[in-house]
Amino acid sequence: MKKLICLFFVFTGLFARGQNIENNLEKKAIVSSKYWLDIDYAGDGIVGHRLDVHLPLKGTGPFPVIIAVYGSAWFSNSSKASTFDDGLGQALLNNGYAVVSINHRSSSDAKFPAQIQDVKAAIRFIRANATRFNMDSSFIGITGWSSGGHLAALTGATNSTKTYKINNLETDIEGSVGKYTATSSKVNAVVDWFGPTNFLAMDKCGSSFSHDDPKSPESSLVGGPIQDNPDKCALANPITYVNKQNPPFLIFHGNKDPLVPFCESEQLFAQLQKEKVQSELIIIPEGKHGPGVMIETYYAKMIIFLNKIMKAAKK
């Protein structure tokens, strides 16, 4: 429990940093040619349904799109600006990608599947309004770290899934958030940075705190202790949905990650390979939960991957 409390304060500190950047964006050196902030992609006025759009400094467009989902243990509904904290967003901009950083509802706002429904709604909004923002809707990729990596992976794995049922529990993955419900929410590529997948295995794989705890991020997301809710956990697990129609995946994970053990990405990669989905897993020696992983070396690998997939998609 002591470790869980410490983790809470760590995440709280990260949220505060994201909020401070959000409130002082003009002081942050984001190099973009044009931007739109706090766009309400659902039309309901809540903070968890806002997004920012940044366009590259160079080029005339329309620009290919990357949706970015922040990590927050699903506890934050307003950390979209943190996409630019560690250089991820800027690396994408510098290489010709429009960056759409999105908020989603937190686990205290609504339980799963609200979060994936929000991501899907944001993608539909962007695809429907691509011309307005000088973006190329023929290529929309998604990336995210930690809980954002989970949502990015889940988005790609459910590219063709609207609802899913396990035993007597059915979940609406696509949802009906926003007004563009007839628009596709598919993505062309996924870059997953150390996202959790199989919640029930996290403690067994080795973690610095108990994910099985009733107050853990995963338990908070599904609305009860994860070991008491295996079907809900399975419905939140990207591995459940992996199939041959999934887009290409690139997965990064540090082998010293103290919060999300790297077995989580190994299990996802194994299923992607089993289904013959184009995929690559990069396990980073001594990499932790961000430090040593979200750095220029691996941003460059991300860009190579995205460029390759985009080129193939346009043939």
Query: Over pLDDT 90: what percentage of the chain?
Result: 88
Average pLDDT (248-261) is 97
Q: Average pLDDT, stretch 89-116?
A: 98
| Mean pLDDT over each residue of the chain, to the nearest integer | 92
Q: Which of 211, 304, 303, 291 is nearest to 254 (CA)?
A: 291
In which residue are the tokens 């980073």 written? 284
pLDDT tens per residue, range 133-190: 999 999 999 999 999 999 999 999 999 999 999 999 999 999 999 999 999 999 999 9
How confident is the model over 279-303, as a mean pLDDT?
Answer: 98
What pLDDT, on the 0 to 100 scale, is given for residue 29? 77
Instruction: Give ∠ CA 285-288-293 in degrees, rounded to 5.
Output: 70
Averaged over 220-234, what is the pLDDT? 98
pLDDT digits (tens, 9 = 90+) for 16-73: 333 333 333 444 579 999 999 999 999 999 999 999 999 999 999 999 999 999 999 9
Q: Which residues contact 274 (CB under 8 A, 6 or more apart)?
A: 242
Range name among 1-5, 106-110, 165-169, 311-315 with the lowest pLDDT average: 1-5
- CATH of range 2-313; options 3.40.50.1820, 3.20.20.70, 3.20.20.80, 3.30.300.30: 3.40.50.1820
HEC-encoded secondary structure of 223-278 = CCCHHHCHHHHHHCCHHHHCCCCCCCEEEEEECCCCCCCCHHHHHHHHHHHHCCCC
E strands along 2-153, which residues? Answer: 34-40, 50-55, 63-69, 98-102, 135-145
What is residue 6's predicted lDDT score, i.e. its pLDDT? 45
Burial of 157: CB neighbours in 10 Å, binned 0-12, 13-18, 19+: buried
pTM listed for this prediction: 0.92
CB count in 10 Å sphere of residue 202: 23
**pLDDT of residue 315 exceeding 80:** no
Best CA proximity match to 54, nearest among 29, 35, 77:
35
Average pLDDT of the residues in 88-94: 98
Share of the chain residues as helix, strand and coil, in percent rounded to the nearest 5: 40, 20, 40
Rounded to whole angstroms, how far apart are CA atoms 266 and 283? 9
Q: Categorize the per-residue pLDDT at 3 as very low, low, confident or very high, splitting at 50, 70 and 90.
A: very low
